[in-house]
Amino acid sequence: MIIPDLPVTIQDKIQNFINQYDYLKKIEPIRDNIFEILDEKCIILYFPQENEENDGSLIQKSVNGKLTNFVHINTYKVIEKQVFTAAHELAHILNLHEHLYNSCNEYKNMFSKELEEAAMNYFAALVLMPTQIFQEKATDLFKEFSDTIQLNDFIKISLNLMDIFFVPFKAVVVRLFEINIIDKSTAEFLINNNDILKKINDYINYYGFTRLGIRSQKKSIKGFPELISKVENANIFNKNKIDKTREKLDIPLNNISENNEVELINLELKNG
């Protein structure tokens, strides 16, 4: 992987684009709350695909005459990659490409699919690792080192940043390059070194970062259990097909629906 040279004019346009959305300008890191933000903009399919290289994808379809966004999050990937994927796809849904193409001549003149994807990744990086707070955290962690640092120490610092911002190792390394803590050649060496990348999970376990490196393998679509029950009750598909769909998405056969009666229980609340 070669880190793209994204011109400063395009970087500034992306930051200004983000500044339009109050829900993206947070004092604290957004972390996995990005899923809630994305959920407001599209229909998310969480499904694991072990042999799929892509971390996720966006499909736009016309449903009843209305353009609807469907995002697939590959939940076989570790959770921090899922977070970055969600932010990347949010950039597409918010039409960042169209904004840049129409407002930035440099982006328009240089345009390629690779440039578009680089812009989406930069958006994701800024949203999940805002420059000021990331720079403060990173500078504090690196302050005891001057010109050189041992690889093990670098990885430990990177894991701390991964844990704080809930992002993958490669994203942290590229962000450290973007804020001038490491140079481009060092960053590219780190993100292209398979021996280092394979050891990241070992380091995660060794240093006890229990929230990282988890493959959730979640299977879910919001509201789907209720929808599949309605489809079943309406006899739209045969029972065998319904049961196979439930099995595929890990939906229990006796899932709760709107027609289920729930025992009423009085709960005592504390005042004050």
Q: Residues 158-202: pLDDT tens digits?
A: 999 999 999 999 999 999 999 999 999 999 999 999 999 999 999
Q: What is the rounded average pLDDT for all residues in the chain?
A: 89
Please list, in sequence order, all residues whose beta carbon lies within 8 angstroms of the beta carbon of residue 220, skipping any fewer than 6 positions away. 45, 46, 249
Taking the alpha carbons at both ends of the chain, their separation in whole angstroms is 56
What's the maximum distance between 2 C-alpha atoms anywhere in the chain? 69
Q: How far apart are CA 177 and CA 28, in angstroms?
A: 22
Mark out the alpha helices in 149-252 (DSSP H runs).
151-165, 169-178, 184-192, 194-207, 224-233, 239-248
- The predicted pLDDT at position 270 comes to 60
Cβ proximity of 229 and 257 under 8 Å: yes
pLDDT mean over 108-123? 97
Choose the weakest-confidence range: 18-32, 163-177, 191-205, 238-252. Answer: 238-252
Reported pTM: 0.86
Cβ proximity of 46 and 86 under 8 Å: no
Q: How far apart are CA 14 and CA 125, in angstroms?
A: 11
Q: How far apart are CA 87 and CA 123, in angstroms?
A: 8
The proportion of the chain whose per-residue pLDDT surpasses 70, expressed as a percent, equals 90
Query: Edge to edge, what strands does the sheet with 66-74 contain?
Result: 56-63, 66-74, 43-47, 220-221
Q: How far apart are CA 247 and CA 229, in angstroms?
A: 14
Residue type, 61: K
Query: Is the pLDDT score of 252 beyond 60?
Result: yes
Query: Is the pLDDT score of 257 beyond 60?
Result: no
Cβ proximity of 60 and 70 under 8 Å: yes
